[in-house]
Structure 1
Amino acid sequence: MSERPTTEVAVLMRRERIDNRWQPWRWSLADVVPHEPAFGAEPRQLRKDEREEQWLFPGFSVELFRDDVEGYHLNLVSPAPCWFVMWRMDEDTGTNIPLARPVAVSLSYHDAGRWLDAQETVEQVPAAPAVLEGLRAFVDANYQPEPKRRKRPDSFRSLQDRFGNPASVSTGKMRGGAGGESHG
Structure 2
Amino acid sequence: MAPRPSLEVAVVMRRERLDNRWQPFRWVLHDVVPQQAAFGSEPRRIFTDEREERWLHPGFTVELFRDEAEGYYLNVTTPAPAWFVLWRMEEEATVAPEPIARPFLLTLSYNEAARWLDAQETVEQVPAPADVVDWMRSFADAHYVPEPRRRKRPESFKALQDRFGNPASVSTGKTRGGEGG
Instruction: State the partner residue of 2:178.
Output: none
Question: In the aligned structure 1, how far is the partner of 2:34 from the partner of 2:162?
Answer: 62
Instruction: State the partner residue of 1:107.
Output: 108
Matched, 1:55 2:44: no
Question: In the aligned structure 1, how far is the partner of 2:174 from the partner of 2:22?
Answer: 75
SS in 1 for 2:98: coil
Matched, 1:21 2:9: no
Q: Give yes or no for contact 1:86–1:123 (8 Å, CA) kept in 2.
A: yes
SS in 1 for 2:20: coil
Instruction: State the partner residue of 2:118.
Output: 117
How far does residue 98 in structure 1 lie from its aligned partner after superposition? 2.1
How far does residue 10 in structure 1 lie from its aligned partner after superposition? 0.3
Within 5 Å, give how 1:164-183 maps onto structure 2.
164-171=165-172
Question: In the aligned structure 2, how far is the partner of 1:99 from the partner of 1:115?
Answer: 20
- The verdict on how the C-alpha distance between 1:96 and 1:22 changes in structure 2, with shifts beyond 3 A counting, is farther
Q: Give yes or no for contact 1:9–1:61 (8 Å, CA) kept in 2.
A: yes
Instruction: State the partner residue of 1:87.
Output: 87
Q: Once structures 1 and 2 are overlaid, which stretch shifts more, 163-172 or 25-34?
A: 163-172
**Structure 2: runs of 5+ lacking an equivalent:** 176-181
SS in 2 for 1:135: helix
Instruction: State the partner residue of 1:181.
Output: none
Question: In the aligned structure 2, how far is the partner of 1:10 from the partner of 1:105?
Answer: 10
SS in 2 for 1:13: strand
Q: Give yes or no for contact 1:83–1:125 (8 Å, CA) kept in 2.
A: yes
Question: In the aligned structure 2, how far is the partner of 1:28 from the partner of 1:59?
Answer: 19
Instruction: State the partner residue of 1:3.
Output: 3
Q: Which amino acid aligns with 2:10?
A: A
SS in 2 for 1:103: strand
Question: In the aligned structure 1, how far is the partner of 2:174 from the partner of 2:86?
Answer: 66
Instruction: State the partner residue of 1:126.
Output: 127
**Structure 1: runs of 5+ lacking an equivalent:** 175-184
Q: Deviations over 1:38-95 (max 9, x none)?
A: 1111000001122110000001111100011001111111121000001001130155
CA RMSD across the alignment:
1.7
Q: Which amino acid aligns with 2:51?
A: R
Instruction: State the partner residue of 1:141.
Output: 142
SS in 2 for 1:69: helix
Question: In the aligned structure 1, how far is the partner of 2:119 from the partner of 2:68?
Answer: 18
Q: Which amino acid aligns with 2:133?
A: L
TM-score, normalised relative to structure 1: 0.89
Question: In the aligned structure 2, how far is the partner of 1:149 from the partner of 1:49?
Answer: 57
Question: In the aligned structure 2, how far is the partner of 1:41 from the partner of 1:167?
Answer: 71
